[in-house]
Amino acid sequence: MALSKGPGPMSPEQFLRWEREQPQKYEYRYGRIFSMAGGSKSHNLIAVNVTAAIHGHLTDSPCRVFNSDQKVACSPAGPFYYPEVSVSCDDREEPTGYMLRYPCLIVEVLSKNTAEFDRSVKFRDYGKIETLQEYLLLDSQLVAASLYRRQEKNLWQVQLFEAAEVIHLAAIALDIPLRLIYAKVIFDQSE
């Protein structure tokens, strides 16, 4: 979530109408609106790498992968977020439109400014999505990942990954090496 606020409080319906008219993306959380900021080169390359790997794996599948331009609804009234990657395999998903409602996998790339929010508040919000099976957090400052996997309704298991490890995404039956996710990434030492 970006740090700069958008206009004053709005209802979910007002926000959804208003945002369609805007030249940039905004996230919405319980009446508050936040503009989306751009990411670092490492942040974007990590997002592209994981999107490409998932997309290639799902090409012959009914599942669809979406990038950070796809809004995800945590409930009909929000919050509404734009994760780096989201995957839905649910046939209840509208084939067109502006929002994803039934994702099974969400991926966020952590930045210095959003890491704590993504690990805590966003995780709790995403956890309200009944179809969500896995939430993958990828660090943009070093080779590291955290995978949250739903065990029961409110029980999640977390696995931590580093360096040469392989992440198993059970929601889409994909094993993805961290080296592939972080291919060609050069970390900014000044961050």
- Structural domain includes residue 136: yes
> Can you give the CATH number for the domain in which 58 is found?
3.90.1570.10
How many CB atoms neighbour CB 150 within 10 A?
20
Q: Give pLDDT tens digits for 74-85.
A: 999 999 999 999
- Structural domain includes residue 15: no
Q: Which of 182, 171, 172, 178 is nearest to 55 (CA)?
A: 172
State the pLDDT at residue 137. Answer: 98
- Structural domain includes residue 23: no
* DSSP letters for 81-93: E--SEEEE--TTS
**45 dihedral zone (left: phi>0; alpha: psi -120 to 50; beta):** alpha
- Structural domain includes residue 12: no
Q: Could you list the residue range(s) of the whole structural domain that residue 57 is in?
A: 39-181
| Confidence bin at 62 (pLDDT 50/70/90) | very high
Domain count, the chain: 1
- Structural domain includes residue 137: yes
State the pLDDT at residue 2. Answer: 47
pTM: 0.92
- Structural domain includes residue 34: no
Contacts of 185-188 with CB under 8 Å at 24 or more apart are 185/42, 185/45, 185/46, 185/49, 186/41, 186/42, 187/42, 187/141, 187/142, 188/40, 188/41, 188/42, 188/141
In the predicted model, is pLDDT for residue 1 greater than 80?
no
- Structural domain includes residue 168: yes
- Structural domain includes residue 24: no
